[in-house]
Amino acid sequence: MNCLFDQGTEDVAEHDDVREMARDYASQMRAFQPDGPYHLVGYSFGGIVAFEIARQLSASGVAPGMLVLVDTPSPYPSPAEEPHDCRQEERPRQD
């Protein structure tokens, strides 16, 4: 098991949106492990990123082995809306 996450250091690229973040993480995954299967787990916002990684892998002809989303909100607020910029203000917590 390997864990990819934005460590917030100067040597980590800043991502402008979820698609870019997923593209970067998928690239890191494939550099570490060139061939699948790729089993993905995402918690909360990380689930949105994991979903996008799985979508991008599928689009490139690589089927993810497993995708597990834990406490993940829908990446699309409604079916008609596009994915949002990950730098948007934080949504209020719903406890």
Strand partners of residue 67: 40
Of the residues 27, 44, 58, 74, which is catalytic?
A: 44
* φ, ψ at 43 (rounded to 5°): -110, 130
Q: Say how far apart CA 88 and CA 69 lie, in whole Å.
A: 21
- Whether 58 is catalytic: no
- Degrees to nearest 5, angle at CA 69 with 7 and 90: 55
Strands (E) in the chain, as ranges, are 39-43, 66-70
Report the catalytic residues.
44
